[in-house]
Every structure is written in structure tokens, then in C-alpha cells.
DNA sequence: ATGAAAGCGCTAACAC
DNA sequence: GTGTTAGCGCTTTCAT
């Protein structure tokens, strides 16, 4: 009835070779004659062999070191959530001899040099795998080229670099995300409305995904509300910590018939703050469940947040990497997360 | 630098006893003299011993059989999704010697006797753990009492039975869910609107969670739109397969000022169908990503779906059960899933 | 009651 | 190249 799992020993018997040879074929360790390789492969093709991970880790008695390259979690609550996801995954995987270095590899999300430094450090530590959130497009390219050359497997999350040779990208479809934002910001509004896209404190030159969101946003209007298409205004705003910021916001908010604002990053709360100060009512759509965003969502200054679930993205990333290293399982090239709509009506169910 | 983990062998040496004795003390298997027990415990008190779970599962070389009690997946797409979640979890856990019986334990979600039969079968098979979606409140009570008495651990999902002694319940907060539905169905509508709550083909007597949804729905109006509170109408509709159904729907749809309908189950599509037939425009809110619901969502007859994520619920349930049995980790008593809002604007991102 | 030893399935070192 | 074998840390059986 319940046939026992096939063991390497069984394969060896069936193929008429020794366990060692089967192991060598399975792991492509070389030093096997063509004849023996074929004998083993023939058996392998007929059966459905699943290695016993438990026995493997116990037998190998070795540890793997992964490395995660993300922005400093202490600088940004969003990255704190990614960090938490990494830690969760680490706890699950510890029993398989997997450790994760992340602590000394934080970078400043606004300093390209910082990212570059860290990527070099990460590479030089010769890890068994890398998970990275590569915010800087150009600096990433060379990093990933080096990794590919050194055969170090790596997975990206949050930000995709199409040109990279990554095992997998985990994140959302930025174009669709922008389209959804457009729909949320304009639903129920008249075609005379004007809308603003706000990129806050980001180097657009490096942030491909912000441009994609912008395109998705515009595309929605081009298709569904062509008359309104000309009423879309794009603003690149400075660091909200700087003095120029409120003045820049004044410009934005002085637009006539401004009925909606889309903040392309998780900084919607700074805009909500400005609306609050001025006692203005403008539909506001942004990203992510940061404490401040949640507060403004509950008080009605932010209407919708699109949840990117950084925690789960990071966790999935580490898991995929571990699955690949431990079991050789290739993850899907792209794992696109759902665009979760958060409003004041369902936010509570998302908070533990 | 990296001190090796303490092994049972080390403890044995330190305590001056054999490995076997240490193991017996560790697992309280008895047959150890007071003297030996104390020697071991003294050592244990001084060190920080963490058993190697990998080695433990490999050494034990035993299998655990879990059992899942759910409605027949072939009768209902919703339960098919739960089923898929179970199968996914099973694939992950196979390496730990966990197998799951589900195939011959389906019940008919509309037949209490069928549920009872299956619970008896499940119990008699003496599994190591049970995952159940207990749709029938009264019949569940005795089932879970028996399980508790026999020390068989069990976890509930989808439907909670507060009185049970379950290790964990995995699902959504029905009250909040009803409240969210009320908000979605009424947002942007005038206070003169009338609304219908539709329970389709369910024995309310047994379905606590439907009543909770209803209460949440009403509670929203009581608090936020007291004037509209008297405009809420509750309907218990028959099996949509029966001839009476369209006539019953006529009654519902003849309500004056009917501006919104809330279907408390995943059957919103049958209502959408009736609306479509009559070419009526009424805001419709329901549950779950069934194919037909998705179609009507895309064509605009359904406005919002609340996603219960049955796949993930079931998967989480099995995982928790396995974690408990394998590692002794107690899951949280309640694991409440987020209320995911699905509209035509983000549905695509949810479909793979 | 206790210790010794044979696995569990796989890896890796070592002979040949 | 190939087979053999000693672990990995724990469980479990079997003498004693």
C-alpha cells in the first residue's frame, strides 16, 4: 500500500552502482564515467526521487551563509518590515544550518555610494547566496554581473532589475500598481478633476519602478478617461526634512481643481500632514502600512494605501534562496504579489 | 569561536550516565532511578540544551498521519481552494514524515448527517492530529469533546467554535467582515438607501458566523448611519438550484430604494446573475474569488469581494498542526486573517 | 533501571 | 572512477 520513499541506496541497487556514485551524479560532482552516469540517470528518469532534506542536512553537517542587502531598517519603517521578514525566515531555517548576515550590510537608501560599498562588502564575504533590494539601478548592474560570474545565486525583491540574471524577482507589478492608484484616486470624481503624481525625495534616474508606476497611472487615464489625461501633473519633491518642502507643496496644492494626489512611495504621510495643516480635502493615495500612514488613514487624510507587504516579500525571498541552495529548486523568475487595497475599513484586520 | 552545540552524548558524559538514560529523562519515558534522574537534571540545569530537531525526526523515523475534515471540494470551488492549500502544505511536510488524509473524509456542506458521519470516521482512524472546517455548530461540539478526551490535537479553520478546546482557530473576524461589507455596500450612497443581507441556502441555526456577519453589518449602520438602520432587510433564500429561487429574488429586488446587497456567503454570483437578467444596477458585495464571482466582478455586476483566502487558511492550519506535533510549538489561539478587498481594479494581481 | 548499539538517509573522506 | 564506510545527533531496541 504505502511504499517507502526511495533512498539513494535503492537507486544504487537499481542502477547497479554504489551509493557514492549515485550521490556524485545527483550533485554533479564529476568523477563519474559516462556509462555510470547514464545508468543512474536512466533510473532517475523512471522514478520520482525526492531527497530527504532532513538526512541531507544532518549528513552534510555544514552551514550555509546567506547575506541580505537592504536599506538600513532604523532609517525607515518600511525597511524595518522587510528586516522583520528576513528574521522570521531565519528562525525557520536555522534548523537547516542556514544563517543570514544582514546587520552590517545596511545601506542608506539615498546614497548611491553607500549602496556600492555594501554590495562590495557583501560580495567579498563570499556568501552562499544573496537577497537584495537594489534601489540603485545603475550601481546594481555591475554588482549582479559580478555575482553571476562568481556563480553566487541571488534573488531580488522590491525592485526588479530586468537586465540582471537573478534567480527570481519578488515584488509587485509597478505598472499595474500605478494603474490601480489612478483608479482609486479618481473613482467617483468628475472628468474636470486635476491630479498630481508626487515623487518624494527620490532620484528618478535610478528608480525605474517609480517611472513604471507613473506610466501605469497615466495609462489608466489615457484609456478610461482620455479627457482627463491632460490634467495629470508630475512633481518631483525634495527631502521632506528640508525647508524647501512646504513651499514646494504650496505649488502642488495651488493647482486649480486638484482632486487627487498619488504619492509614489511610502511617504504619503508627509503629504497628509500638509493637507492637515492647511485643512484641505484632497483624495490621497499612497503606499504601505507605516504607523504614520495608518494614522492618517484612520483620520481620513489618506484614503487608500496599497500594501506592498515588504515583510512577506523578504521572507519569500529568503525562503526561495534557501530552497534553491538546499534543494536545487528553481523559484519562478517572477513572483508578483497581490496589490492589497487598504482603507480605513479593513486596516484593523491587517494590524495583527 | 563558534562553540559546537551540546549533544545528548555530551550530557551523558557530564552526568556520568548513558545516552539512553539522558534520552529517557529528556522525554520522561520513565524507567530511570531517582539517582540517575537527578544527575541528569543537575547537568541540564547548568547548560542550555537545545535538541537537534533534524536529528530527532531522522532518528525517530516515524510518520504522523493528519486528517482534514472539509466539505467536498468537488461540490464547491471555495472548498476546492482549501483543498489545494492542504495539498500544498502536504508537499512541504512530506519530508518530515507527515501524511494527510483528506480524500475519504469529505462531507456535504448542506447535510449535517454527512458531517457527523465523517467526524466519526475521522476520529476512529486515530490520527495524530485533525484539521477541520466545522460548518455545523451543534454537531461539532460533541466531536471536539471526544477529541479533547482522546488527546488528539485539532485545529479549526474557516469557522470557529468558541466552546471547543482547539489548539488554534484560523480564519477571519466575521463581525468585522460584516462591518466592512456594510461600509463597502453603502459608501457614497445616500441615507435613504435600503439594503439587503442575503443568506443563501444556509441553515442559520448552525451557522454562527453568518449571524456574526449580519450583526457586524447592522452594527455599522447603527453607529455610522443610524437613520439608515431601519432600512436593513434580511433574507433567507433557498437553494439557488430550486425553482423558488428566482421568485424569492423577485421579492428582494422589488424593495423600493434598494441600493445595495450583501451576500453573506460566496454565492454572490447567483445574485449577480439575477441582476444581470433583470438588467438592474444594485451595489453588490460578496465573498471569495470563485470563477463566476470574478467574472461578475469584471463585468461590474459585483462591486466588491472580500477575499477569505481559504487556500492560505488551510495551509496555515496544517502547518500549525505539524509544528505542534513535530516541535511542540503551540500556535496562537486565534490567527485572524486580513479582510482583503477585491475590486475590478486589483483582481488581476490576485490571479497568479 | 541501564548501557550498548543498530539504525534513520545522506555526505564526504578514504581506499583501491 | 568507484565502492566502502564512518559519521551527523537522536531514537529505539535489546541485552543485561
pLDDT tens string A67-124: 999 999 999 999 999 999 999 999 989 888 899 999 999 999 999 999 999 999 999 9
**Mind giving me the DSSP string for A17-80?**
S-HHHHHHHHTT-S---HHHHHHHHHHHHHS-----HHHHHHHH---EEEEEE-B-TTT-HHHH
Q: A336 and B348 in contact by Cβ < 8 A?
A: no
Mean pLDDT across B114-141 = 96
- CA nearest A131: which of A65, A78, A63? A65
Chain B residue numbers touching A342 (CB-CB < 8 A): 341
Instruction: Report the protein residue whose CA lies nearest the C1' of nucleotide C2.
Output: B21
For residue B236, give Cα distances in angstroms to A86, B194, B264, B265.
47, 17, 10, 12
* Best residue of A349, A351, A352 to probe chain B, by most B CBs closer than 10 Å: A349
pLDDT of residue A1: 36
Q: What ranges make up the beta strands (E) of B49-184? A: 64-69, 98-101, 129-132, 154-157, 168-171
Q: A349 and B343 in contact by Cβ < 8 A?
A: no
Q: A180 and B96 in contact by Cβ < 8 A?
A: no
**Mind giving me the DSSP string for B177-218?**
HHHHHHHHHHTT--TT-EEEEEEES--TTT-HHHHHHHHHHH
Q: What is the mean pLDDT of chain B?
A: 94
Could you tell me the pLDDT band of residue B96, with boundaries at 50, 70 and 90? confident
Does residue A345 belong to the interface with chain B, where contact is any CB pair within 8 Å? yes
Coil, helix or strand for B295?
A: helix
Coil, helix or strand for A305?
A: strand
Whether nucleic acid strand C comes within 7 Å of the CB of B332, the answer is no
Which grid coordinates belong to B99? 501524511
Residues 6+ apart with CB under 8 A from A224: A183
| Contact in structure between A73 and A80 (CB atoms under 8 Å) | yes
Could you tell me the pLDDT band of residue B319, with boundaries at 50, 70 and 90? very high
In eight-state DSSP terms, residue B74 is: T
- Residue B330: CB atoms within 10 A of its CB come to 12
In eight-state DSSP terms, residue B234 is: E
Q: What does the CA dihedral A42, A48, A53, A55 come to, rounded to 10 degrees?
A: -70
- What proportion of chain B, given as a percentage, has pLDDT over 70? 99
Q: Which nucleotides of C are covered by protein (CB under 7 A)?
A: 1-5, 7-14
CA of B97 to C1' of C12 (A): 26
In whole angstroms, give the CA distance from residue A22 to residue A37.
Answer: 8
Does residue A52 belong to the interface with chain B, where contact is any CB pair within 8 Å? yes
| Contact in structure between A261 and A185 (CB atoms under 8 Å) | yes
Coil, helix or strand for A241?
A: coil
In whole angstroms, give the CA distance from residue A267 to residue A200.
Answer: 7
pLDDT of residue B1: 37
In whole angstroms, give the CA distance from residue B28 to residue B193.
Answer: 66
Whether the predicted pLDDT of B129 surpasses 80:
yes
Residue B6 phi/psi, 5° resolution?
-75, 135
- CA nearest B182: which of B217, B224, B225? B217
Which grid coordinates belong to B89? 502544505
CA of B30 to C1' of D15 (A): 19
Could you tell me the pLDDT band of residue B149, with boundaries at 50, 70 and 90? very high
CA of B295 to C1' of C11 (A): 53
H or E element, residue A247: helix A244-253
In eight-state DSSP terms, residue A301 is: S
* Best residue of A341, A343, A344, A350 to probe chain B, by most B CBs closer than 10 Å: A341
- CA nearest A193: which of A221, A249, A231? A231
CA of B57 to C1' of C7 (A): 13
Does residue A53 belong to the interface with chain B, where contact is any CB pair within 8 Å? yes
Q: Quick: pLDDT tens for B103-117.
A: 999 999 999 999 999
What predicted TM-score, i.e. pTM, was given to this entire model? Answer: 0.93
3-state secondary structure B275-292: HHHHCCCCEEEEECCCHH
* Best residue of A2, A54, A304, A305 to probe chain B, by most B CBs closer than 10 Å: A54
Q: Quick: pLDDT tens for B275-302.
A: 999 999 999 999 999 999 999 999 999 9
Q: B345 and A348 in contact by Cβ < 8 A?
A: no
Does residue A96 belong to the interface with chain B, where contact is any CB pair within 8 Å? yes
Residues 6+ apart with CB under 8 A from B328: none
In whole angstroms, give the CA distance from residue B140 to residue B146.
Answer: 10
For residue B194, give Cα distances in angstroms to B253, B256, B283.
11, 7, 11
Q: B349 and A339 in contact by Cβ < 8 A?
A: yes
pLDDT of residue B33: 94
pLDDT of residue B50: 87
Strand partners, A155: A131, A168
Could you tell me the pLDDT band of residue B85, with boundaries at 50, 70 and 90? very high
For residue A324, give Cα distances in angstroms to A150, A240, A317, A320, A321.
16, 41, 11, 6, 5
Q: In what order do the strands lie in the sheet with B154-157?
A: B98-101, B64-69, B129-132, B154-157, B168-171, B334-336
- CA nearest B105: which of B77, B83, B136? B83
- For chain A, residues with pLDDT lower than 50 are 1-2
Beta-sheet pairing, B129-132 with B154-157: parallel
| Contact in structure between B23 and B49 (CB atoms under 8 Å) | no
**Alpha carbon of residue B336 to chain centroid:** 9
End-to-end CA distance of chain A: 44
Q: Quick: pLDDT tens for B196-234.
A: 999 999 988 888 899 999 999 999 999 999 999 999 999
A151, burial (CB in 10 Å: exposed 0-12, middle 13-18, buried 19+)? exposed
Chain A residue numbers touching B345 (CB-CB < 8 A): 179-180, 183-184, 341
Whether the predicted pLDDT of B68 surpasses 90:
yes
In whole angstroms, give the CA distance from residue B48 to residue B50.
Answer: 7
| Contact in structure between A329 and A323 (CB atoms under 8 Å) | yes
Which of the nucleotides lies closest to A22 (Cα–C1')? D2
End-to-end CA distance of chain B: 46
**Mind giving me the DSSP string for A97-154?**
TEEEE-GGG-B-TT-HHHHHHHHHHHHHT--SEEEE----HHHHHHHHHHHHHTT--E
In whole angstroms, give the CA distance from residue B82 to residue B132.
Answer: 11
- Residue B351: CB atoms within 10 A of its CB come to 8
Q: Quick: pLDDT tens for B14-40.
A: 999 999 999 999 999 889 999 999 999
Q: How far is B209 from chain A (nearest CA, A)?
A: 16
- CA nearest A135: which of A67, A217, A214, A69? A69
| Contact in structure between B128 and B66 (CB atoms under 8 Å) | yes
- CA nearest B173: which of B209, B144, B217, B131? B209
Amino acid at each position: 500500500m504505502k511504499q517507502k520513499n526511495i533512498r539513494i541506496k535503492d537507486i544504487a541497487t537499481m542502477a547497479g552502482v554504489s551509493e557514492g556514485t549515485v550521490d556524485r551524479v545527483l550533485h554533479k560532482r564529476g568523477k563519474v564515467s559516462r556509462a555510470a552516469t547514464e545508468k543512474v540517470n536512466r533510473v532517475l528518469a523512471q522514478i520520482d526521487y525526492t531527497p530527504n532534506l532532513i538526512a541531507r542536512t544532518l549528513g552534510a553537517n555544514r552551514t550555509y551563509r546567506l547575506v541580505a542587502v537592504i536599506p538600513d531598517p532604523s532609517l525607515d519603517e518600511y525597511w524595518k518590515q522587510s528586516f522583520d521578514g528576513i528574521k522570521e525566515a531565519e528562525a525557520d531555517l536555522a534548523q537547516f544550518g542556514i544563517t543570514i548576515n544582514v546587520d552590517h550590510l545596511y545601506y542608506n537608501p539615498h546614497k548611491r555610494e553607500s549602496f556600492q560599498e555594501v554590495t562590495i562588502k557583501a560580495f567579498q564575504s563570499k556568501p552562499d547566496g544573496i537577497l537584495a533590494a537594489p534601489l540603485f539601478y545603475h550601481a546594481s548592474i555591475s554588482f549582479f554581473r559580478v555575482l553571476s560570474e562568481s556563480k553566487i545565486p541571488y534573488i531580488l525583491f522590491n525592485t526588479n532589475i530586468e537586465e540582471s540574471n537573478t534567480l527570481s524577482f519578488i515584488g509587485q507589478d509597478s505598472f499595474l500598481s500605478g494603474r490601480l492608484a489612478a483608479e482609486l484616486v479618481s473613482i467617483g470624481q468628475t472628468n474636470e478633476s486635476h491630479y498630481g503624481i508626487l515623487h518624494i525625495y527620490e532620484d528618478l534616474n535610478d528608480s525605474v519602478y517609480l517611472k513604471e508606476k507613473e506610466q501605469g497611472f497615466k495609462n489608466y487615464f489615457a484609456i478610461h478617461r482620455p479627457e482627463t489625461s491632460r490634467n495629470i501633473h508630475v512633481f518631483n519633491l525634495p527631502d521632506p526634512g528640508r525647508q524647501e518642502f512646504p513651499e514646494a507643496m504650496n505649488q502642488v496644492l495651488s493647482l486649480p481643481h486638484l482632486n487627487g494626489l498619488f504619492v509614489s512611495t511610502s511617504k504619503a504621510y508627509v503629504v497628509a500632514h500638509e493637507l492637515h495643516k492647511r485643512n484641505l480635502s484632497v483624495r490621497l493615495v499612497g503606499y504601505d502600512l507605516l504607523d504614520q500612514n495608518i494614522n492618517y488613514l484612520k483620520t481620513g487624510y489618506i484614503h487608500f494605501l496599497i500594501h506592498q507587504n515588504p515583510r512577506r516579500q523578504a521572507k519569500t525571498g529568503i525562503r526561495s534562496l534557501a530552497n534553491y541552495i538546499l534543494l536545487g529548486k528553481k523559484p519562478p523568475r517572477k513572483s508578483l504579489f497581490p496589490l492589497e487595497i487598504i482603507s480605513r475599513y479593513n486596516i484593523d484586520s491587517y494590524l495583527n
